[in-house]
Amino acid sequence: MGVLSLRQGLHLAAILGLLGAAAFPPYWMFVTSLTPSAALFADRARLLPTLSEAAAYREVFRTIPVATWLVNSAIVATGTTVLSIALAILPAYALSRFRFRGKGIFGFALFATQMLPEAMLVVPLYGIFAQMSLLDSLIGLILANTAFTVPVITWILKGAIDGIPIEVEEAARIDGCSRIDIVLAVVVPLVAPTLAAAAVIAFFHGWNEYVFAQTLVSSEALRTASVGLAGFVGELSTPVHSVMAVSVIYTLPAVIFYLFVQRYVVSGMTAGSVKG
Amino acid sequence: MTSNKRVSMIVAAGMAFAPLLGSTAAIAQSKETITFAGATFAEAGRGEKLKAWVEKFNKSQDKIEVQPLAIPFSTLANTVFTQMGGGGGPDLVRFDQIDFYAAVPANRLLPLDDAIKDTDYNFTAPDKYLKVGGKRYGVAFEISNYVLIYNKSLVPGGKPPATFEEFLASAKAATVDGKFGFAFRATMAERAGFWQDVCNFVFGFGGRWSDDAGNPTVNSDKVVEGIAAYKKVYDLGAIPKGADAATYRRMFWEGKLAMEVDNGGVAAIFNQQAPDLPLAAAPSPFPTRAQGLILAPLTINANTKHKDAAIAFMKWVLRPENQRELQDIIGASSVATIVERSADDIAKKPWLKVFDDQTPNAVPQLVIGLETKTPDIQQIVLEQVLKVLQGGMDPKKAMDDAQRMVTARVVKK
């Protein structure tokens, strides 16, 4: 293998540059979490983590209910993901396969929900949840997040179902499958990669969501990590170490989840891009 | 496994899981629980002490329990107003002064005249600002004056500047070796604090946002002088531009910042975080002694279903022994009623006296006569100040424009 050509060298440099740009913020977060307090405002920033400061992480778990926050976030994110996908499959199938009056309006209405910011909806939602005794509960939070993710996931799944030849379903029907069995036994497995991509969207929404989590939940025991993290920014002071340490911890589960479903996501995104 | 069995298992799992997700309100409680929201519960040092102070109330009661809710300062008003708009929200709220004046006209707060009588308590002077339209809507939880706080080891000669020109020279001279001479806020991301800092400059230069009749005077000569001084400091090359208040305050107790004009609560935190820091205070280095006043009222949400319990807590707060303890916790700030400091306290922390002596010169950071419209005027003024700081607009023109906008959009609305 010879020396890289100029073109290959430029490509490599560009790739490394982009990789560095993407990796630097989390790296800096990690370095800052391990920088001694007195060195935070030193003339020269430390580029390498001070590993002797690793006890800061133990301290965070000891003094702050980070584990509770993460469990709550995981419940909300997982609940949002499962519920969103469960609720989106049938409308996606209906939009793809059926002709019915108002189909266009229904499809547009789903998109229209995405045009309204959460901040605008949170007041009426708070009132409705209060009536239904859903305030200060993770179930309420899951429902609120699901309401936001279902439209997006419905459209993503509709696109994937459009790509399944109708003959496959007809064959299943000849074999005696009911419509619902066709959806569950034939369509769902075929759109599994797209479901994985949709799961990532729903999970990240549930994991990162802040406005609903801050407003609809008040008990400290039910606080999610996004709210807990924001709570560090005080009126008079902000403990930079703790913020960065918790940020690193907060990021990890989401990254692990993404790595877990990543190969399905890639195949889901490319599914249907080439018609054969 | 059949479909029916699968569904049954999912339902059963859901039912088993549900209690984990459910409302804490569902947990049987013998006491009537009320919630008390405040950003101050999240503060390092003071937060835990305040929670312990609230716990003293809980232990003294067999029927009421107050649950402190720490809401981030930056989102407290938005969160609480959203909840109030939805018909709920915490029973008790420690508001920032400006949000208090937004909550009153929106009928979000409970009038307290029947419960809290003026004659029963020896209230501090700023208590009068908690009455709107002749009605009381809260009691002061924290009253804090602004003065110049400085690090004796970083200020040239170890002495505070007495005039504005001396201050500029000191700030510049102290900006060496990665240290900064002064810090203040200049971004809309910290709107409330930005307004407080601008008010200190404007008041210090003799300006006021309105005249005695309540007409806006945001383009008066003295206000323009204050804004021009703000710009002069912004361009001095002596401030950590972009650093938010939490960061530059931390810089102060880390010995990286020489001076700032700040309130007594901040001085107390510096003293807690770095007891060996050569902390000192002096009157702010402006032509007049007038400076802003932080008034954080304790209020009761009009939506509360626990009115009597909330009032019981408020009356407990106003008891002399609890006021004294609260003042000890919040440091260089004052509380609702007059509490004398001990000679020992003053001897240990001489800067306390500087804050206390500032009280006669303290002016609320509000547009007097247009208190309820302060948030709207604040927005207009700060946007114009940003044009001066970042766009280089002439201060006089910026404030003339602000005056026109305030008159057209706010006063005549």
User: In this complex, which of B86, B250, B254 lies closest to A130 when CB atoms are compared?
Assistant: B86
Q: Chain B residues with CB inside 8 Å of A124's CB? A: 86
Contact B75 A230 (CB under 8 A): yes
Contact A126 B20 (CB under 8 A): no
B153-163 per-position pLDDT tens digit: 999 999 999 99
User: What part of B 184-243 touches A (C-beta under 8 Å)?
Assistant: none
Interface test with B, best of A32, A41, A43 (most B CBs within 10 A): A41
Q: What is the mean pLDDT of residues A214-218?
A: 92
B230-276 per-position pLDDT tens digit: 999 999 999 998 888 888 998 998 899 999 999 988 898 888 888 99
Dihedral-angle region of residue B255 (phi above 0 means left; psi in -120 to 50 means alpha; beta otherwise):
left
How many CA atoms lie within 13 Å of A197's alpha carbon, on the beta-carbon side? 18
Strands B139-151 and B257-263: antiparallel
Q: What is the band of A266 on the pLDDT scale with cuts at 50, 70, 90? A: low
CB-based contact B172:B164 (threshold 8 Å): no
B328-373 per-position pLDDT tens digit: 888 888 899 999 888 888 898 999 999 988 988 999 898 988 888 8
The tokens describing B358, both together, are 């500032």
Contact A136 B79 (CB under 8 A): no
Residue B140 per-residue DSSP state: E
* Distance in angstroms (rounded) separating the CA atoms of residues B156 and B173: 7
CA distance A138 to chain B (A): 5
Instruction: Name the least confident of A8-17, A231-240, A245-254.
Output: A231-240
Q: Note the pLDDT of residue A270.
A: 53
Q: Note the pLDDT of residue A231.
A: 81
H or E element in which residue B403 lies = helix B395-405
B41-95 per-position pLDDT tens digit: 877 678 889 999 999 999 999 999 999 998 888 788 889 999 999 899 999 999 9
B369-404 per-position pLDDT tens digit: 888 888 899 999 999 999 999 999 999 999 999 999
Average pLDDT of the residues of chain A: 87
3-state secondary structure of A149: helix
Q: Report the amino acid identity of residue B285.
A: P
Q: What is the band of B19 on the pLDDT scale with cuts at 50, 70, 90? A: very low
Cα B82 versus chain centre, distance: 20
ipTM > 0.85?
no
Contact A127 B40 (CB under 8 A): no
H or E element in which residue A42 lies = none
Q: Note the pLDDT of residue B28.
A: 43
Q: Chain A residues with CB inside 8 Å of B40's CB? A: 235
- If you search the block for the tokens 């939602």, which residue do you land on? A125
Q: Note the pLDDT of residue A51.
A: 83
User: In this complex, which of A129, A215, A239 lies closest to B79 when CB atoms are compared?
Assistant: A215
Q: Report the amino acid identity of residue B191.
A: R
User: In this complex, which of A37, A42, A214 lies closest to B79 when CB atoms are compared?
Assistant: A214
* Distance in angstroms (rounded) separating the CA atoms of residues A216 and B86: 10
CB-based contact B146:B262 (threshold 8 Å): yes
Contact A122 B87 (CB under 8 A): no
A62, with CB counted inside 10 A (0-12, 13-18, 19+), is: exposed
Helix boundaries (H) for chain A: 6-33, 55-63, 66-97, 103-112, 118-131, 138-162, 166-174, 179-181, 188-190, 192-208, 211-216, 225-230, 240-270
Instruction: Count residue pairs from A and B with Cβ separation < 8 A.
Output: 113
Q: Chain B residues with CB inside 8 Å of A130's CB? A: 86-88
Q: Chain A residues with CB inside 8 Å of B46's CB? A: 236
CA distance A80 to chain B (A): 13
Q: Does B25 touch chain A (CB under 8 A)?
A: yes
The tokens describing B82, both together, are 């959203």
